[in-house]
Chains A and B, each alone.
Chain A
Amino acid sequence: MSAFRDQTAIVGIGYTPFSKSSGVTTLTLALRAIAAALEDAGLSAKDVDGLATFRVGDSVLPMVVAQSLGIRDLRFHLDQFGGGSVSHAMVGQAALALHAGVAETIVVYRALNARSGFRMGGTGRPLVDAVETQYQAPYGYFTPPQQFAMAARAHMDRYGTKPEHLGQIAVQQRAFARDNERAMMRAPMTMSDYLAARYVVEPFRLFDCCLETDGAVALVLTRAERARDLRQTPVLIRGAAWGGGQTLYSNEIEDTNRTAAADMAPRLYAMAGVGPSDFDLAELYDCFTYSVLVQLEDYGFCKKGEGGPFVASGATARGGAMPVNTHGGFLSEGYVHGLNHVAEAVSQLRHTAGARQVPDAELALSTAQPGYVAGSTAAIVLRRDAA
């Protein structure tokens, strides 16, 4: 059995409101989310001895956060370049540091003004320092919706995936968002609404694409035995895994419809001692509808190529066998680069998700971007503490 399994826990979650224009700095957003997460955990800034964040040159330095919190001796710090492909790696890395005894209380946070400030792909500036960029930008190909649409089209041509399959993902997640007071998009949405929306990048229509959000999310982590003395039902980190190595265009990849998550998932499951049929819910990285579809295949919830019929079966919808993105995801709740997915999984496993609660949720999967664009991925398995 993995020595890491169930040894660390998420004990606090905190949010700022999600908006199109926060009117404040990313430092202020980070501090507000961190304060909310510490309050949720029943801890104070004095307890924090570790900080971890990830950025694409769009957010505040963690040392500025440390100064603001009055932390004089930061025992663990992590400031990683990256976006959605490293979001869940932050949680895993903080858990490793806690498990190793490097620090006692680590806050993982992400703060961004991704609508009013630095827009992903909307600035003309490449998001990642990929060597491929120079071969793509001259053709007007430089944004995430283009990169994911390219893979989605291949999936449609190879496997018969239909626009309505992608639409199912958008519609199902919106149905959850209707019961989420944080969600930026709560109006009802039908398949007709989905199909009638304008194209952004064919085959993606408007509602295939995530929102652009100003906001922040923070998570407080500590070791499991200490977690049991704190305010909330601990949510244990049962497994964490890292994957990737190849970007979409490096010449190792002959199949753009099979992501790095497909190689990673088996070792994540082995570490956690679980299989895909054990999960009560999954919060999957949904920068676009297609990224959910391909992850359902690569994490083993259905066979390769069958993601479309799988979502159409209702398995991932409210009341389905394994609901996906119970907060509405990036498509309807907001885009906080994956940490809002972790925070939602924590709420579900605490059984505090209100009207959108998945009954008796005990085990959840949450994932980072599955390896497109930057070439890296990560995921975690979370479990409600049975003690």
Chain B
Amino acid sequence: MIDELPEPMPDLDSLPFWEGLKANELRLQKCSACGALRWPARAICNRCSAFEAEWIACREDARIASWIRTHQVFAPAYRDRVPYVVVQVVLEAQADIRLIGGWQADRDPVYREAVVPRYSKRPSGTVVLDWAPREP
């Protein structure tokens, strides 16, 4: 039996983000006062201190900022899944938003390469955000 992968644990701030993934949308908060995107989801804008925000479907393309390949088993669920690649991407929509995600390609990521999201549905019904090369 393969152990279940760790599931997202949304809180009241982040729930719309995770619901967005189920609709295959990258939903982020956009500050109603200054227009800045907020990450992680939270009550206040780190630029202008406004509380008001709306959830928008954000521009999805991104670039690889870094990546790692995990060989050591840190949790039982990964016993049969190592080695695996995790990427850190920077959104083109706002350069200070960096997301962690899985990698969907048969090759290693390349620094600064353009990537697009893959909304990956698990058997549990959860949708997580993986990334793949943006093919020409």
Contact = CB atoms under 8 A, between A and B. Distances in A.
B70 A140 contact: yes
14 contacts: A121-B74, A134-B11, A135-B40, A139-B86, A139-B101, A140-B6, A140-B81, A146-B70, A149-B68, A150-B88, A151-B66, A154-B65, A252-B46, A253-B98
Contact of A251 (B10, B14, B38): B38
Contacts of B78: 140
Given A150-B66, A154-B65, A251-B38, A136 B100 contact: yes
A328 to B, nearest CB: 22
A138 B7 contact: yes
The contact size tier of chain A is: 35 or more
Contacts of A330: none
Contacts of A203: 68
Given A134-B8, A153-B66, A251-B96, A199 B71 contact: yes
Contacts of B14: 134-135
Contact of B72 (A124, A145, A153): A145
Contacts of A146: 68, 70, 74, 86
A141 B96 CA distance: 20
Contact of B42 (A131, A140, A154, A198): A131
Given A135-B40, A201-B69, A256-B65, 7 more contacts: A135-B100, A137-B8, A153-B66, A154-B65, A198-B71, A199-B71, A251-B94
A138 B95 contact: no
B111 interface: yes
Contacts of B7: 138
B69 to A, nearest CB: 4
Contacts of A254: 95-96
A125 to B, nearest CB: 10
A201 B68 CA distance: 7
Contacts of B74: 121-122, 124, 140, 142-143, 146
B37 interface: yes
Nearest to B41: A131
Nearest to B100: A136
A251 B71 contact: no
Contacts, number: 115
B99 interface: yes
B86 A153 contact: no
A26 B20 CA distance: 45
A259 to B, nearest CB: 15
A200 interface: yes
A152 to B, nearest CB: 8
Interface in B16-37: 37
Nearest to A155: B66
Interface in A240-255: 249-254
Given A146-B86, A200-B72, A140 B66 contact: no
A84 to B, nearest CB: 18
B97 A251 contact: yes
Interface in B75-121: 75, 77-78, 81, 83-84, 86, 88, 94-102, 111-112
Interface majority SS (helix, strand, loop, mixed), chain B? loop
A202 interface: yes
A154 B66 contact: yes
Given A139-B101, A251-B97, A252-B46, A134 B9 contact: yes
Interface string B32-76: 000001111010001000000000000000000111111110110
A251 B84 contact: no
Contact of B40 (A132, A154, A158): A132
A131 B54 CA distance: 20
B39 A249 contact: yes
A138 B81 contact: no
A73 interface: no
A332 to B, nearest CB: 20
**A-B residue pairs, 5 tightest by C-beta:** A157-B111, A154-B66, A202-B69, A251-B96, A199-B71
Contacts of A150: 66-68, 86, 88
Interface string A199-223: 1111100000000000000000000
A157 B87 CA distance: 14
Contacts of B95: 254
A293 to B, nearest CB: 15
B8 A201 contact: no
Given A121-B74, A253-B96, A202 B40 contact: no
Contacts of B72: 145, 200-201
Nearest to A134: B9
